[in-house]
Amino acid sequence: MQSRDKRRLVLLTLPVAIVFCAFWLIPIAHLILLSGQGPVGFGSYVQILQTPRYLTGILVTVALSAGVTLVTLAVSVISGLFLVRNRFPGRDLLIAVLTLPLAFSGVVVGFMVIMLAGRQGLLATASLALFGERWMFAYSFAGLFMGYVYFSIPRVILTIMASAEKLDGLVEEAARSLGASGAEVMRDVILPALAPALISSGAICFATSMGAFGTAFTLNAGVDVLPMVIYNEFTLNANIAVASALSVILGLLTWLVLAAARSITGAGVAAAA
């Protein structure tokens, strides 16, 4: 009987083990090996940290992802609480519009930013007609930031709304009856209750922004985000060792954020991913 149970366990875990090895373990191991095949071996990691362009790419990507995460969380909390607590005509349509970017790739999001704020976009056309000059920001850091936020909002707002629906309104009423202002209720009651959802969805937002490539590639904003640096090293410079090392660093930074969020919120991050 025990032998049969062991065989059954092996048969059940074998597909999982095959998928894990084929799509994660082997590619990651190969990537690490490639990062050590350059002229300086695994010293390429030290070289990256000593090269201003690579180091700037890492810092810009982390700063951009952190900023996008903070703005996305702020917009999602305000919008999510409003949509959960109010019923009005067109509410379902508004939710559908807010979550529409889930169906878009990063390339489509970048194209939409260009249509809004590019050289021939809506903003440029309107400003030319009104003020005689074209206003545009699609091909700048602001355009890239806007594209990342637009791409991230649906992934966060759905989590916030699901968590907000479980809030106990009696606790908020009790806080107000004790003299708490609206800001104090938000700070001391609502945000602490939403904290697990904020941390888990924020971690996913950060991870998505760190690895986003399509939007950055489409906008070509001149911002050296890490995915673009990796792409250029691999395709233009054929510097496979450095591209691999940068990929490992990108993956490690993202994993550290997800692991930290998971340690705080439990399995919520894994479920959201």
pLDDT tens-digit series, residues 9-54: 777 788 888 888 887 888 888 888 888 887 888 888 888 888 898 9
d(CA 127, CA 117): 11
* Yes or no: domain 43-272 corresponds to CATH 1.10.10.60: no
d(CA 205, CA 146): 14
Give me the pLDDT at residue 81, please.
92
- Distance of alpha carbon 55 from its chain centroid, rounded? 20
Q: How far apart are the first and last CA of the chain?
A: 38
Q: Are 78 and 153 in contact (CB under 8 A)?
A: no
Residue 157 clears pLDDT 90, i.e. is over it: yes
Least confident of 13-17, 124-128, 214-218, 249-253: 13-17
Give me the pLDDT at residue 180, please.
82
Confidence of residue 264 (pLDDT cuts 50, 70, 90): confident
d(CA 199, CA 43): 35
Dihedral angle sign, alpha carbons of residues 154, 204, 83, 183: negative
Confidence of residue 236 (pLDDT cuts 50, 70, 90): confident
Residues 6 or more apart in contact with residue 13 via CB below 8 angstroms: none
The DSSP code for 266 is T
d(CA 211, CA 205): 10
d(CA 140, CA 136): 9
Give me the pLDDT at residue 223, please.
83
Q: Could you tell me the CA-to-CA distances from 8 to 3, 18, 19, 20, 100 in Å, in that order? A: 9, 16, 18, 19, 43
